Amino acid sequence: MKLVWKAFSLCKEGNREEENEDAVYPHLVNGSSLIADQFSCAMADGATTSSFSKLWANLLVKESSQSRAASVDFNQAIIAARASWKAALPDKELPWPTAIKVRQGAFATLMWFHIWQKNGVYPLNTLPPDHGWTANAVGDTCLFQVVKGKFVSTFPFTQAKDFSNTPDLISTNIAYTRSRAGSISGKWQRGDHFLIATDALSEWMIRKLESGTLTWALVSENLTSLVRFQTWIRYLRRQSLIKNDDTSLICLTVDV
Amino acid sequence: MYSAEISRMNPTCFLFLVDHSTSMQNPIMGIAGNPKKSEFVADALNKVIQSLVVSASKDMEIRKYYQVGVIGYGFEVKTALGGELANSDLVWIDEIYENPLRIEDRVKKESDGVGGFIEVSTKFPVWVDAVSRGQTPMCAALNKAHEILATWVEEHPQSYPPTVINLTDGEANDGDARVPAELIKSLATEDGNCTILTVHSSSNELSRQIVFPMDVKDMPDHFSRVMFEVSSPLTPKMRATSEELMGTSLEEGAHGLVYNADIAGIVQALEIGTRPANIQL
How many A/B residue pairs have CB atoms within 8 Å?
A: 45
Across the interface, of A48, A94, A101, the residue whose CB is closest to B54 is A101
Residue B30's Cβ-count burial label (10 Å; 0-12, 13-18, 19+) is middle
- Cβ contact (<8 Å) for A244 and B5? yes
Q: Is residue B279 part of a domain?
A: no
Q: What is the residue-level pLDDT of chain B in tens, covering all 281 positions? A: 888 888 898 999 999 999 998 888 888 777 777 888 888 889 889 999 998 999 999 998 999 999 999 999 999 999 999 888 988 899 999 999 999 999 888 888 777 777 788 888 888 899 999 888 889 999 999 999 999 999 999 999 999 999 999 999 888 889 999 999 999 999 999 999 999 999 988 776 667 888 899 999 989 888 899 999 999 999 988 888 888 888 888 889 999 999 888 777 888 888 888 875 444 43
- Cβ contact (<8 Å) for B60 and A14? no
Q: Please state the three-class secondary structure of A157-204 as a single string.
A: CCCHHHCCCCCCCEECCCCCCCCCCEEEEEECCCCCEEEEECHHHHHH
Q: Is residue B7 part of a domain?
A: no
Q: Best of A15, A53, A98, A174 to disrupt the B interface by mutation (most B CBs within 10 Å)?
A: A98
Q: Is residue B164 part of a domain?
A: yes
With a CB-CB cutoff of 8 Å, which residues 182-241 of chain A face chain B?
none
- Would you call A176 an interface residue with chain B, using a CB distance cutoff of 8 Å? no
What is the number of other CB atoms lying within 10 angstroms of the CB of residue B233?
A: 18
Domain count, chain B: 1
What is the number of other CB atoms lying within 10 angstroms of the CB of residue A70?
A: 9
Domain that holds residue B121: 12-274
- Would you call B57 an interface residue with chain A, using a CB distance cutoff of 8 Å? yes
Q: Which domains does chain A have, with CATH numbers?
A: 2-254 (3.60.40.10)
With a CB-CB cutoff of 8 Å, which residues 240-279 of chain B face chain A?
276, 278-279
CA-based nearest distance A190→chain B, Å: 36
The CATH number of whichever domain residue B173 belongs to comes to 3.40.50.410
CA-based nearest distance A179→chain B, Å: 15
Contacts with B262 (C-beta within 8 Å, 6 or more apart), sequence order: B28, B29, B202, B209
Q: Is residue B281 part of a domain?
A: no
pLDDT on residue A159? 96
Q: Is residue B151 part of a domain?
A: yes
Across the interface, of B8, B60, B280, the residue whose CB is closest to A95 is B60
pLDDT on residue A128? 64
| Residues of chain B contacting A48 with CB distance shorter than 8 Å | 279-281
Alpha carbon separation from B35 to A171, B38, B108, B190, B259 (Å, rounded): 38, 8, 17, 41, 18
- Cβ contact (<8 Å) for B281 and A47? yes
- Cβ contact (<8 Å) for B9 and A14? yes
- Cβ contact (<8 Å) for A165 and B62? no
